[in-house]
Structure 1
Amino acid sequence: MAKHTGFWMGLALACATALPALAQDAPTVDTVVATVNGEAITLGELIVMREKLPAQYQQIPDDALFKGLIEQAVQQLALEQSVTEGKTKRDELWLKTDARGYMAGKALQSVVTAGVTEEAIKAAYDEKYAKAPDTTEYSAAHILVDSEDKAKELKAKIDGGADFAELAKANSSDTGSAVNGGDLGWFGPGMMVKPFEDAVVALKPGEVSGPVKSDFGWHIIKLNETRVAAKPDLEAVRQELTEALQQKVIGDHIAKLTAEAKVEKPGEGLDPALLRDATLFDK
């Protein structure tokens, strides 16, 4: 019986000695990870340092990154402590503008989070694409020459039965399309210069235009066919819509804030060249 009692007492003692380790507080942003001359570096500082790293460095394994950030923080703090003359006016303004930029970014992030929702993205998609009127795409070919007379000559040959594609190969200065018989593929509104687009829109499939002048020269245009442009699905334009929404909610929010704020600009009349005068810090 004595042996059993000793066993249980030993187990209880072992558990008791283990309790302090189990009862230790979980790490927080205030947990000290290093000190330099008694000044603490905290876990929170390391987390922020990691967040500031370019994306490629954030992929470094945690154990290597943790050690590397501690060493970087130690070196930076040691260097900071080595500056004995204190903060200059320039130093204070650097820190002030950095802090202002950070807080402005934080404010905008909350605005974007609130304004760029899935519902807002879908609404923007419906407005721009799903509910938008159908648009027409065109398949056309052209022959580009340097004079109206040459264009008229080629048009007369086409009207007389000459093959458009062969004339394009032999005469068009647009060598990129000439090798394909002048074929330009499919294009939509706004993709061609206006005189060219206007001429294409006026044609019916199979028709050939008269000479059309643009900044590139003189064109003879053949419209092959038309089709209704396919509308992209949401995922194909999600990034485009998201970026447009971000710009809008940010612009609207900044406009509202500045309109409601009392803004005075007594320095607007200063010489803009003063921006380059760093000697002002020495005066």
Structure 2
Amino acid sequence: MKRILASAALSACLITPAIAQDADTVLATVNGQEITLGHLIVAQSQLPEQYQSLPDDVLLTGILEQLVQQEVVASAVRDDLSTSMQLGLENEERAYVAALTLDEVAMAEIPEEELQAEYDAQFGDVEAGTEYNASHILVETEGEAQSLIDELEGGADFATLAREHSTGPSGPNGGQLGWFNAGMMVPSFEEAVFDLEVGEASGPVETQFGWHVIILNDTRDQAAPALEEVRDQLVEGLRQARVDAYVQQLTDESDVTRAELDIDPALLRNTDLLDN
């Protein structure tokens, strides 16, 4: 496609200005197979983004030439397709029709009241929680942790001690862990944080990572997000739910029979079975 479109500008002047407006307008015939304006419109809509900005006359010439060349090749073998080709065509048709149909289902307009209802269902009962901002110093032994606590009680700066002694990845940043809420840290660490007052440092706290000295920097209320903050997330979920429901409905209404056969899964990789 890239080669065809790149050379299309040179032959664009060969196309007679179109006067028809019908998608059934025939632009070329190859061995009796018609290529219509509609074929070109569909092909154009599926082009990669980098080709969409090309001039219309270049696109028309390039796409038409591509479809002509494809038909020349396809018509030469259409009556003698291999098993692999035939099965591939069936798979492509199935996937193409299904994808476009599901895209229409998913992208249909979502009424604002439906979006509001989904927001209420997900966040309407969310109670305000608490977020914590803490720093820590991670060392290997309880004795090291206690020595650091003694230094803090003597007036040492927590961030400086963290940079000098912490073995954790937050050490170079003064031990800062940022904001977190319940469930984001290991239990013993969280329990120690929840018992602290703002500005207070903990005693030695053991986790599977080692021994920690923790200071609680601040707390804040965590309310449910506003609808606009989660609109995209909600829309995406509703679209996926639509698709799932549509597929399930069609499945329930369809006559689906799955053969109960004992098949070696390794046969899936045996392309020799496709040989004519």
TM-score, normalised via structure 1 length: 0.78
Which residue does 2:180 correspond to in 1? 187
Whichever residue aligns with residue 243 of structure 1, its letter is E
Report the equivalent of 2:68.
74
Corresponding residue number in structure 2 for 1:201: 194
User: Is 1:29 matched up with 2:23?
Assistant: yes
Q: Structure 2 matches for 1:72-111, cutoff 5 A?
A: 72-83=66-77, 86-111=80-105
Contact 2:139–2:166, Cα closer than 8 Å, also in 1: yes
Matching residue within 128, 135, 146 for 1:141: 135
Letter in 1 for 2:84: R
CA positional deviation for 1:271 = 0.9
Q: 1:231 to 1:70 in 2, by over 3 A?
A: same
Q: Does the CA contact (< 8 Å) of 2:127 and 2:224 recur in 1? A: no
Displacement of 1:253 in angstroms is 3.0
Determine which of 41, 57, 71 is the counterpart of 2:51: 57
Q: Secondary structure at the residue paired with 1:101?
A: helix
Aligned CA RMSD, in angstroms, stands at 2.8
2:270 corresponds to which residue? 277
Q: CA deviation at 1:144?
A: 0.9
CA contact (8 A) 2:127 2:223 kept: no
- Partner of 1:83: helix, strand, or coil? helix
- The verdict on how the C-alpha distance between 1:267 and 1:166 changes in structure 2, with shifts beyond 3 A counting, is same
Note closer, same or farther for the CA distance 1:65–1:216 as it changes in structure 2 (3 Å cut): farther
Counterpart code for 1:112? A
Question: Residue 263 of structure 1 aligns to which amino acid in structure 2?
Answer: V
Cα deviation code 1:44-84 (max 9, x no counterpart): 11111112222332232222111110111111111112227
Look up the match of 1:241: 234
What is residue 243 of structure 2 aligned with on the other side? 250
1:216 pairs, out of 203, 209, 218, with 209
Structure 2 portions without partners, runs of 5+: 1-17
Assess if the C-alpha contact under 8 Å between 1:115 and 1:249 holds in 2.
Answer: no
Q: CA deviation at 1:121?
A: 2.9
Distance between the aligned counterparts of 1:25 and 1:180, measured in 2? Answer: 69
Provide the secondary structure at the position in 2 that maps to 1:56.
helix
Structure 1 Cα separation of the partners of residues 36 and 140 of structure 2: 73
Amino acid at match of 1:196: F
**Compared CA separation, residues 131 and 273, structure 1 to 2 (3 A):** same
3-state DSSP class of the match of 2:262?
coil
Contact 1:32 1:43 in 2 (8 A): yes
Shift of 1:194: 4.2
Counterparts of 1:235 and 1:64, CA distance in 2: 42
CA deviation vs aligned residue, 1:105-160 (integer Å, no higher than 9, x gap): 23322432458444333333344346532232211111111122212332343345
TM-score of the pair, normalised by structure 2: 0.80
| % identical aligned pairs | 46
State how far apart, in whole Å, the 2-side matches of 1:37 and 1:162 are. 88
Shift of residue 273, structure 1, vs aligned partner = 0.8
Q: Which residue of 2 aligns with 1:41?
A: 35
**Residue in 2 that maps onto 1:3:** none
Distance 1:55 1:118 in 2: 31
Runs of at least 5 residues in structure 1 that lack an aligned partner in the other structure = 1-23
Aligned residues: 259
Instruction: Kindly name which structure, 1 or 2, has the bigger radius of gyration based on alpha carbons.
Output: 1
The verdict on how the C-alpha distance between 1:108 and 1:202 changes in structure 2, with shifts beyond 3 A counting, is: farther
189-198 or 29-38, larger mean C-alpha shift: 189-198
> Is the Cα–Cα contact under 8 Å of residues 102 and 243 in structure 2 kept in the other structure?
yes
The CA deviation string for residues 233-252 of structure 1, in whole angstroms up to 9 with x for no partner, is 44443332222222222223
By how many angstroms is 1:231 displaced?
Answer: 5.0
Note the 1:111-150 alignment, pairs <5 A: 111-114=105-108, 116-129=110-123, 132-150=126-144
Bigger drift between 219-228 and 186-195 goes to 186-195
